[in-house]
Amino acid sequence: MYNKGLFNDWVPKPMQLLLIVLMLMVVMPLGGVYTGNISFMTGGTGALSEYFLFANYATTIGMGAAMPLVLRMKMRFKVRHKITALFILLGLFSFVNATTLQPMVIVITSLFIGFFKMMVAIELFLPIMMMMGNRGVFYGVFYTFVLTLSQVSNYYAVEVSILYNWQQFFIIASLVCLGMALLCWIFMHNQYFALKVPLYYIDWLSIILFVSTFMFSAYVFSFGKQQDWWNSSKIMNASIAAFVSFALLSVRQLTLKRPYLSFKIFKKNNVIHGLVMLLFLGMFLGTTSIQNTFAVGVLGYDQLTNAKLNVLMVPGLVLAGIVAVFWFKKEIPLKMYIFSGFSAMMGYAIIMYFSMVLEFSFDRWYLPMFLKGYGMGSLFISIWFYTLDKLELDDLLAAIGLVLVWRTFLAVGIFSALYSWFQYHFQVVGIGDLAVYVDGMTITPQTLAPNMKLVQFNAIIIAGKKIFGYIILAGFGVLGYILTHHFGRERFQYVRFVRMLGGKSVIARRRLHERKKLLEEIKDAAGPAI
């Protein structure tokens, strides 16, 4: 009657593993938009690029909104019916994105793609995580797999868009999702995972408030620069709406018997410090916007060449995964592994600060991108492991959506928006400083155009260098924070006397153990899924 696996018994074990990996390769890079394609989508639809950045954020928000529901959905539906239906829906939404020219339609479909994508990803991660056993090793392998797959798929999305058009990649994704749905219907079993549970305990109003909170926030981050921030009534209204939605969401969780979210884990020391370190990580990852401005705006790279820069991170990501597997197998304390990740990010920032010149050649990208890849991979693995370590599983499952959105959307979105504003401000100041050299004696009417272009390029470089300079100064503080933090190590050891308590039946303990094991697996799988 119940089957905790995914496939029919007649499917060989190696083939089961192959099917899981194949489905992961399809579902993990799937999104409402692909960052390398944004310029093509802007040209093809005639819409502002901010809409597609908004849609990219919406995918992450949808994934976070789905996380508190994954256990109930897993126990409510049969595996074959659920995964097949989800792949069909993902295919249909991808097809909608390929055929529509309305940017807000793409934003809405991106939200649903993220929601359904998380449901599928959790199902696929659980069997592999059970095979590996060690949670740290699991993180090391799968973060490397997911982050590498993301960079490679983004490159091919750009290549397909250049060879054909930006809609073609969405159509390919749609067809592949429908093919995966057919494979699921053929090979997956038609049984429940465990005892069937009802869906009427789900508080849909809380889900709406959760989505509205972060969608309004995403609007602010996406359109802030274009709308001139607080001088825009739309930005002010969206900010107020995000605050009110979060306040209502928080109050509602305190009044529900079965809350959609839980805020208890945010009292834990490791969670607070983990969120702070994720914010520091967002400070470094937000530099992607500065890097793109320099590569495309100053060096004149096309979109495909710019996408190759992200592929250069793959060796660093692989090394971070290898080191993580070794680190967790040896059970070495996390401090120095996290320190190495932030040090690599600092190395990337320092190299970019000194290397941003007009004569920058492509082969000079290898070292900084390698360091950035290692830093991103190691910090995604280690900080997520530390943040979710030794937590009450019931509370964690109800709060993990907030942690996911904080890590992937808020931490990066805040700094990306800040850098965008400072880039513009410092660029204007730079042009003013360089204008002292622009007069009739040095620039003639015949040389005006090329010299004005040179002044603009230098102003962009000045702005980028200033931002990287401030990041480096903040980075030294981050390294000091990492060196002084205890990372859960107790300063004093006390002798503890443990008293065995009886009175619980064997069956009750076994059920409690199985439930905790399932929740632990879902918690571990949530990290790489997003």
Residues 294 and 151 in one domain: no
Which of 238, 257, 276 is the endpoint of a domain? 257
Q: Does residue 491 belong to any structural domain of this protein?
A: no
The greatest distance separating any two alpha carbons of the chain, rounded to the nearest whole angstrom, comes to 95
**Where do we find the tokens 């080191």?**
323
Residues 182 and 125 in one domain: yes
Q: Does residue 33 belong to any structural domain of this protein?
A: yes
pLDDT at 473: 92
CA distance 482 to 475: 11
**503 near 104, Cβ under 8 Å?**
no
CA distance 67 to 210: 12
pLDDT at 498: 39
Residues 252 and 299 in one domain: no
Q: Does residue 262 belong to any structural domain of this protein?
A: no
The stretch 150-165 carries a mean pLDDT of 85
Give the pLDDT confidence of 40-55 residue by residue, as tens digits: 888 878 888 888 888 8
Residues 213 and 159 in one domain: no
Write the CB contacts of 87 (distance below 8 Å, at least 6 apart in sequence): 27, 120, 177, 178, 180, 181, 184
**355 near 167, Cβ under 8 Å?**
no
**Dihedrals phi, psi of 7, to nearest 5 degrees:** -115, 165
CA distance 134 to 131: 9
Which of 156, 174, 194 is the endpoint of a domain? 194
Nearest residue to 61 (alpha-carbon basis) of 519, 407, 386, 524: 407
Residues 306 and 189 in one domain: no
CA dihedral in degrees (324, 330, 336, 340; nearest 10)? Answer: -30
Count of structural domains, the chain: 4
pLDDT at 499: 39
Least confident of 74-88, 183-197, 304-318, 329-343: 183-197
Q: Does residue 219 belong to any structural domain of this protein?
A: yes
pLDDT at 346: 92
Two tokens at 79? 């595996």
Where in the sequence is the domain holding 251, given as residue range(s)? 204-257
**249 near 209, Cβ under 8 Å?**
yes
Residues 76 and 165 in one domain: yes
Two tokens at 148? 């590498």
Which of 143, 172, 194 is the endpoint of a domain? 194
- Report which of residues 1 and 74 the model is more confident about: 74
Residues 228 and 347 in one domain: no
Residues 179 and 276 in one domain: no
Two tokens at 27? 């579902």
- Three-class secondary structure of residue 165 per DSSP: coil
Query: Cα dihedral sign for 203, 209, 212, 217?
Result: negative
pLDDT at 502: 45
Residues 184 and 314 in one domain: no
pLDDT range class, residue 447, cuts 50, 70, 90: low
pLDDT at 4: 62
Residues 188 and 303 in one domain: no
pLDDT at 391: 66
**397 near 519, Cβ under 8 Å?**
yes
CA distance 206 to 213: 10
The stretch 294-308 carries a mean pLDDT of 84
**Average of per-residue pLDDT values in the chain:** 79
Name residue 188's beta-bridge partners.
7
The stretch 130-154 carries a mean pLDDT of 79
**What separation in angstroms does the CA of 98 have from each of 101, 134, 155, 184, 282?**
8, 41, 18, 24, 31
Q: Does residue 57 belong to any structural domain of this protein?
A: yes
Q: Does residue 234 belong to any structural domain of this protein?
A: yes
**Domain CATH code at residue 355:** 1.20.1250.20
Q: Does residue 529 belong to any structural domain of this protein?
A: no
Nearest residue to 379 (alpha-carbon basis) of 524, 276, 266, 470: 276
Nearest residue to 261 (alpha-carbon basis) of 118, 112, 396: 396
**What separation in angstroms does the CA of 476 have from each of 56, 271, 272, 320, 456?**
31, 22, 20, 21, 31
Residues 17 and 70 in one domain: yes
Question: Is the pLDDT assigned to residue 2 strictly greater than 60?
Answer: no
Residues 115 and 186 in one domain: yes
Q: Does residue 10 belong to any structural domain of this protein?
A: yes
Structure letter (DSSP) for residue 46? -
**Domain CATH code at residue 157:** 1.20.1250
